Amino acid sequence: MYRYDEFDHEIVQSRVKQFKAQVERRLDGRLTEAQFRPLRLMNGLYLQLHAYMLRVAVPYGTLSAKQLRQLAMIADKYDRGYGHVTTRQNVQFNWPELTDVPDILQDLADVEMHGFQTSGNCIRNVTSDPYAGATAEEIEDPRPTAELLRQWSTLHPEFAFLPRKFKLAVTASNTDRAVIKAHDIGIEVVKNEAGETGYHIIVGGGLGRTPIIGQTLRAFLPREELLPYLEATLRVYNRYGRRDNKYKARIKILVTETGIEEFTKQVEDEYATLVPLDIAVSPEEVARITSYFADPDFEDLPDHDDAYQAKLITDKDFANWANNNLAEHKAAGYAIVNISLKPIELAPGDITSDQMRAVADLSDTYSFSEIRTTHQQNMVLPHVKKSDLYALYQKLKAVKLHADNIGLISDIICCPGMDFCALATARSIPLSQAIAQRFADPERQRAIGEMQIKISGCINACGHHHVGHIGILGLEKAGVEFYQVKLGGDASENAAVGQVTGPGFSQGELIDGIERLVDYYLGVREDNERFIDSFKRLGMAPFKEALYAA
């Protein structure tokens, strides 16, 4: 994992001192709310529907055991004993008090954490593949690139007041686990025909009220040109992005209105004016950053573990968990473990302080003290020996973190919705719980197979509903919640925006409609065809008919 250098420490500690003084000035009236608001937002502190909310940055979703324990301590000491994993791999606390936040930020700084870049019109916290450094699929670990971007974008003076927020994601596998095409800039580590490693730059993607899939800006960008090229891209956005209308201010609107060819020309023209070496970092610095992400000391193991295989036969529940929640690791004898934060009865992404401590302990024992958060609002232990999987499973079970539903219909992405969010128009958590309850039978879930339901409580789409196989948007009219449905969205490397089916539903009607939809799918699918593939094969009409068939 990356460890802060002296500059990182100084920046974060300085910010804590600054914010402490700013809170004091706010409380005694030397700062008005209008003056204070942008300062608190720069540290991730929002005023939500019922109370303050603090969003803590988890750069590229990588946490140490020590950091997770500190988050647990903060949850207990300052909040209500739990935290919430967001779709940008961050962690939120729903009930902090303003007077405590300087102490919380100090506690975060003590473990190299903060709330920078979790709000405001800046380059936001960089996200990445939660399997980074563990999957055999990747060309290289994408996190050194993500860390380079974190350092470049943190407090970048030219990009602190962009027309609107700006989101970056980095992957290095053909399988996209970071939804890079729905980002302002998505960065894919690729190799060219000569075998050189560089970047595929995708621009202008985004969700929100205007969902757009990103387009290629550069098919192959040499590695050393990354920062200068992004600098040129951000400059063009800063210059031409709209500031008169916040709903048209994201780069996706600029790219769409300008056209990708003209936008690319503008970026290339700007790039030609730069002196790349003034911006690019040296190979030595890249090597220094990369060294922090070196593989842990994997043991030299056979890929087959007899004891593990035996348990798969004797313990059916364990076998089901292993089947759904494990992924292939690059090192023989190891596995990537997904920890579902989607138990049927609780809110997606929530984790109690006791569970945080348990996961931290388990990571110490079984996964080199590393934890990942995922945009799917789950957690990952990236490096677990197969021989340890059964013991790990038992310990996860003891703290109720053994849900075996990764990728299934109850593994729902869900924003906080009207229960917490000041922007929401309808609740999303109760709907996700109702869907999970309806499909609670594990056998039924497994029979349905891969299914991504994503729920947003308003058109800002924090719940990624545009790219759900079944996407649900919560709205309200005359005091009544209703839910609009999209079908056929895809958050993978085949990214697609779903199509609206038609009139909205009440929650009760929607649950019945989804059940009819799922039953229809099970009746028409060929072999082990996934829902999304059946939808692509058959089109909207029959699925819509099933959904509205009541």
Residues at the site binding another protein, with contacts judged by CB under 8 A: 26-29, 33, 47, 49-52, 76, 79-82, 94-99, 345-347, 350, 352-353, 418-420, 425, 427, 429-430, 433, 476, 479-481
Nearer to another protein, 59 or 504 (CB): 504
Q: Decide if 118 contacts 87 (C-beta within 8 A).
A: no
Nearer to another protein, 9 or 477 (CB): 477
Give the position of tokens 């690319």. Answer: 264
Q: Decide if 410 contacts 330 (C-beta within 8 A).
A: no
Nearer to another protein, 272 or 480 (CB): 480
Q: How many CB atoms lie within 10 A of CB 157?
A: 6
| Strand duo 413-414 + 453-456: pairing | parallel
Spatial neighbors of 187 by CB under 8 A, at least 6 apart, are 142, 145, 149, 168, 169, 170, 171, 180, 199, 200, 201, 202, 226
Nearer to another protein, 94 or 534 (CB): 94
Nearer to another protein, 99 or 282 (CB): 99
Half-sphere exposure of 269 (CA within 13 A, CB side): 7
Shortest distance (Å) from residue 379 CB to another protein: 15
Shortest distance (Å) from residue 514 CB to another protein: 20
Shortest distance (Å) from residue 50 CB to another protein: 6
Nearer to another protein, 384 or 418 (CB): 418
| Residue 29 buriedness (CB in 10 A; 0-12 / 13-18 / 19+) | exposed
Half-sphere exposure of 92 (CA within 13 A, CB side): 26
Nearer to another protein, 322 or 458 (CB): 458
Least Cα distance to 155 among 5, 15, 3, 13 occurs for 15
Distance CA 15, CA 30 (A): 19
Shortest distance (Å) from residue 36 CB to another protein: 9
Q: Is 126 helix (H, G, I), strand (E, B) or coil?
A: coil
Shortest distance (Å) from residue 265 CB to another protein: 45
Shortest distance (Å) from residue 446 CB to another protein: 26
Q: Decide if 208 contacts 459 (C-beta within 8 A).
A: yes
Shortest distance (Å) from residue 460 CB to another protein: 14
Shortest distance (Å) from residue 96 CB to another protein: 8
Nearer to another protein, 203 or 426 (CB): 426
Nearer to another protein, 47 or 391 (CB): 47
Q: How many CB atoms lie within 10 A of CB 418?
A: 21
Shortest distance (Å) from residue 345 CB to another protein: 7
Distance CA 159, CA 370 (A): 31
Nearer to another protein, 99 or 494 (CB): 99
Q: What are phi and psi of 241, to 5 degrees?
A: -60, 145
Interior/surface letters 245-284, b for 16+ CB within 10 angstroms, e for the rest: eeebbbbbbbbbebeeeebbebbeebbeebebeebbbeee
Shortest distance (Å) from residue 323 CB to another protein: 28
Nearer to another protein, 153 or 352 (CB): 352
Q: What are phi and psi of 119, to 5 degrees?
A: -160, 170
Shortest distance (Å) from residue 7 CB to another protein: 33
Q: What are phi and psi of 339, to 5 degrees?
A: -105, 115
Nearer to another protein, 186 or 463 (CB): 463
Shortest distance (Å) from residue 483 CB to another protein: 14
Q: What are phi and psi of 473, to 5 degrees?
A: -115, 120
Q: Helix 316-325 to helix 389-398 angle, to the nearest 10 degrees?
A: 100
Dihedral sign from CA coordinates of 381, 382, 383, 387: positive
